[in-house]
């Protein structure tokens, strides 16, 4: 008898047969009389969700996505924002793009030059000095040039040195074009020579001559974005042309997946044996080929040498000239062939069980077709979680007020990277101590308690996101397990299957087992969070080490360069000393990856037990683990057979759709079907169709995989609980019953 207030205990001690725990013979299927499980974890989960919602609201109040959409000038103003003086100036212009090659860019993530908002990019070459001389006769040059200054000037009265000191105007402008709302040089090639505005050399406005190659070095990373934008436009055009063909392909993939699940009921055994015979044939061919090479090398001058004689060689072809190598390959392949054949002989009944369960899974889905619609709900819930996380992350990242820092492109400054106020900066002591220093917008931040914990809030945002993602997946697994368990434990199928089994299972999972699902999801989220932190630390250390090393060597000539080279040598020594720590970090990453896989497997089976018996997470996980351990050989065979058949189905669906899409987008079947004729990159819609078809098939077959796992757990319980008598009949179908009656099972 169970304790008062608890669901009936479906487990009982059985010392007669030596099993640690067997099952209550009176169990007739998924428990209907349930109570809430893991209530404490459910409360914690709800509190985290409430905190997550509050965090999103606070971030929404403080954040401003315009900081991501609109470029920001040196004074922190948005370019192109409506209702501001820069409403008609939506493009950001750099005074001195050559300064963007400064090493401080790597540290401050900001180009150390004045940036202003302009309405259009310059289209010709002009220097400040060049506009002064013809001003009295021709004011047009200065009128054009002045629109790229901080404020309008009636005439260019200041000297070049005074203008540079006051930082009012750029020294030179050159033909540019807008990209991502920023002005970048208009590069082109003339007869194989790089030019800017059809010029290879030009004045920099300070009395020096620069060439297009130097300018390209300053904008090298930006030039890559130019190419990416051009490709992006063409890709968008291809999607606009082929979107309806892509939808048709995904619809066909859905129909093929459905057909494959139906045919799998009758062809599971055929597919498996084709695979096995194919593997045996391939290995047999390998044995024959290796032996043939071994015989051909007889009498060769290197035939009597051994691997020990030649030692370690970088050229692998040397080893292929030894008879010993081919003899080793022959022996290894022969042993592998014998092992596979012996496994097929001795495990033939267990393999038959796996194939029977595959067929049973197709039959169960046929009786409960609504389960194939459930992945749509999972997709919607996952999309909501991902969207909320992304929006919250953007609002958190854009929270705060503009922060300005001192940047000294002219040389070292003791005040560099200190915060400053752009208004009146030129009159401060810091400006006088560092001639040429500028007070430039750096980032958005603040000194309030909220702004100080922005990074912590981002970590909380990521953690709850992982928890919710795993919870949604767990909810789907538990719901499907409950539906398919209702099918298995129906004594007369399909008459005894309860009405609306999927909706009933979903209601039970939400009403009674939210805490248990949250518990399992929490464990998995913690492991994934640790993996992300380890990966972040690994990349951060690599980037920091590379940046330090490059900065040391690029600091400059003379004494500074000598110090930098010494620092670089020291950095290299430290890098060699960190090999052990890198190895340990790699081991940790590998261990947590394996742990995540194990926990996913255990959680999956625990959710099946929760759906059937209505117990808490720990109790269900323990019972599922003990049940699987008592049938470990069946588990191993079952897992591999199911995995192979499902992967084969996914590849088959994606491959068929991919072939049809390839023939269509490359105009190989114009006599049958006329496809699009004006594609820039036919592989863009082709890959989209192939990947999308694979994901569609994965959604269908994930339901199938959960069905097989549930039926397998139920089958093991049924085999241990019942004996086929009138009092304790088997709930399994006749095909499974014939296999169970075999003495070798």
**pLDDT tens-digit series, residues 597-652:** 889 889 999 999 998 888 899 999 998 889 888 888 777 667 777 777 777 778 77
Prediction pTM value: 0.68
What are the distances in angstroms from CA 301 to CA 3, 310, 321, 325, 515?
Answer: 83, 14, 10, 15, 73
Assess whether pLDDT exceeds 60 at residue 106.
no
> What tokens does 258 get?
């459905």
Respond yes or no on whether the N-terminal peptide bond of residue 494 is cis (omega within 30° of 0): yes
pLDDT tier at 1, thresholds 50, 70, 90: very low
3-state DSSP call for residue 321?
helix
pLDDT digit string, tens, across residues 34-46: 788 899 999 999 9
- Mean pLDDT lowest for which of 163-167, 365-369, 519-523? 163-167
Give pLDDT, residue 549.
44
The top-scoring range by mean pLDDT among 345-359, 378-392, 730-744 is: 378-392
pLDDT tier at 564, thresholds 50, 70, 90: very low
Say which residues have a Cβ less than 8 Å from residue 75's Cβ, sequence separation at least 6.
422, 441
Mean pLDDT (the chain) is: 75
Assess whether pLDDT exceeds 90 at residue 53.
yes
- Mean pLDDT lowest for which of 13-17, 353-357, 420-424? 13-17
Assess whether pLDDT exceeds 70 at residue 228.
no
**Average pLDDT score over residue span 424-428:** 71
Assess whether pLDDT exceeds 90 at residue 199.
no
Which residue did the predictor score with more confidence, 227 or 219?
A: 219
- Strand bridging mode 438-445 / 401-407: antiparallel
pLDDT tier at 555, thresholds 50, 70, 90: very low
Give pLDDT, residue 523.
94
Name the residue among 640, 655, 570 with its Cα closest to residue 256: 655
Which residue did the predictor score with more confidence, 49 or 236?
A: 49
pLDDT tier at 669, thresholds 50, 70, 90: low
**Average pLDDT score over residue span 358-384:** 84
pLDDT tier at 661, thresholds 50, 70, 90: confident
Which residue did the predictor score with more confidence, 516 or 30?
A: 516
Which residue did the predictor score with more confidence, 221 or 474?
A: 474
Give pLDDT, residue 676.
61
Give pLDDT, residue 421.
73
Assess whether pLDDT exceeds 60 at residue 544.
no
Say which residues have a Cβ less than 8 Å from residue 675's Cβ, sequence separation at least 6.
245, 664, 665, 667, 669
Burial of 413-422, coded b for 16+ CB within 10 Å and e otherwise, reads bebbeeebee
pLDDT digit string, tens, across residues 79-96: 887 777 777 888 888 887
Cβ–Cβ < 8 Å for 718, 382: no
Which residue did the predictor score with more confidence, 692 or 322?
A: 692
């Amino acid at each position: 008898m169970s304790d008062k207030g608890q669901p009936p205990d479906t487990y009982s001690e059985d010392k007669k047969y030596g099993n640690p725990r067997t099952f209550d013979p009176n169990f007739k299927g998924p428990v209907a009389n349930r109570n809430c499980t893991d209530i404490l974890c459910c409360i914690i989960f709800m509190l985290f969700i409430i905190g997550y919602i509050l965090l999103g609201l606070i971030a929404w109040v403080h954040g401003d996505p315009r900081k991501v959409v609109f470029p920001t000038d040196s004074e922190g103003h948005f370019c192109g924002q409506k209702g501001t003086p820069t409403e008609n100036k939506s493009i950001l212009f750099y005074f001195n793009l050559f300064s963007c090659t400064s090493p401080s860019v790597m540290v401050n993530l900001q180009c150390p030059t004045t940036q202003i908002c302009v309405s259009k990019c310059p289209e010709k070459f002009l220097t400040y000095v060049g506009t002064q001389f013809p001003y009295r006769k021709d004011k047009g040059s200065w009128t054009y040039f002045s629109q790229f200054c901080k404020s309008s000037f009636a005439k260019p009265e200041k000297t070049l040195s005074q203008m540079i000191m006051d930082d009012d105007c750029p020294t030179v402008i050159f033909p540019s074009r807008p990209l991502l709302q920023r002005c970048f040089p208009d590069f082109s090639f003339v007869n194989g020579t790089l030019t800017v505005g059809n010029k290879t050399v030009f004045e920099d406005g300070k009395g020096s001559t620069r060439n297009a190659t130097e300018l390209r070095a300053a904008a090298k990373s930006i030039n890559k974005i130019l190419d990416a934008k051009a490709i992006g436009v063409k890709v968008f055009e291809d999607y606009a042309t082929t979107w309806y063909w892509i939808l048709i392909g995904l619809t066909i993939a859905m129909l093929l997946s459905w057909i494959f699940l139906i045919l799998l009921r009758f062809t599971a055994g055929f597919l498996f044996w084709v695979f096995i015979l194919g593997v045996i044939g391939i290995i047999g061919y390998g044995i024959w080929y290796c032996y043939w090479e071994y015989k051909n090398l007889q009498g060769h001058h290197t035939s009597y040498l051994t691997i020990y004689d030649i030692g370690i060689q970088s050229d692998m072809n040397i080893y292929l000239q030894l008879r010993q190598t081919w003899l080793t390959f022959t022996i290894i392949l022969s042993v592998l062939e014998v092992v596979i054949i012996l496994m097929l002989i001795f495990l033939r009944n267990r393999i038959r069980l796996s194939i029977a369960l595959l067929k049973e899974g197709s039959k169960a889905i046929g009786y409960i077709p609504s389960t194939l619609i459930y992945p749509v709900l999972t997709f919607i819930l996952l999309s909501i979680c991902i969207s909320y996380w992304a929006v919250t992350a953007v609002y958190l990242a854009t929270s705060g007020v503009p922060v300005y820092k001192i940047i000294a492109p002219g040389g070292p400054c003791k005040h560099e990277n200190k915060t400053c106020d752009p208004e009146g900066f030129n009159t401060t002591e810091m400006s006088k101590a560092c001639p040429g220093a500028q007070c430039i917008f750096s980032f958005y931040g603040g000194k309030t308690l909220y702004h100080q914990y922005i990074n912590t809030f981002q970590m909380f945002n990521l953690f709850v996101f992982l928890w919710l993602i795993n919870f949604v997946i767990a909810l789907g697994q538990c719901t499907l397990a409950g539906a398919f368990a209702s099918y298995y434990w129906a004594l007369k199928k399909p008459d005894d299957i309860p009405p609306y089994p999927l909706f009933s299972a979903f209601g039970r999972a939400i009403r009674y087992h939210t805490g248990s699902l949250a518990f399992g999801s929490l464990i998995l989220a913690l492991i994934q969070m640790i993996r992300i932190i380890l990966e972040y630390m690994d990349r951060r250390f690599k980037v920091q080490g590379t940046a330090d090393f490059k900065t040391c060597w690029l600091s400059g000539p003379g004494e500074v360069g000598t110090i930098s080279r010494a620092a670089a040598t020291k950095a290299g020594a430290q890098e060699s000393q960190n090999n052990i720590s890198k190895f340990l970090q790699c081991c940790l990453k590998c261990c947590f990856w394996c742990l995540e896989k194990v926990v996913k497997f255990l959680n999956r089976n625990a959710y099946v037990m929760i759906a059937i018996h209505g117990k808490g997470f720990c109790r269900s996980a323990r019972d599922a683990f003990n049940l699987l351990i008592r049938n470990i050989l069946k588990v191993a065979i079952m897992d591999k057979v199911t995995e192979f058949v499902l992967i084969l189905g996914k590849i088959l669906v994606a491959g068929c759709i991919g072939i049809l899409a390839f023939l269509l987008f490359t105009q190989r079947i114009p006599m049958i079907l006329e496809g699009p004729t004006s594609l820039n990159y036919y592989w863009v819609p082709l890959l989209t169709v192939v990947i999308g078809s694979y994901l569609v098939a994965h959604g269908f077959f994930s339901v199938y995989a959960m069905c097989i796992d549930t039926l397998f757990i139920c089958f093991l319980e049924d085999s241990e609980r019942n004996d086929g008598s009138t009092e304790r009949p088997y709930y399994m179908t006749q095909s499974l019953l014939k296999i169970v009656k075999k003495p070798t099972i």
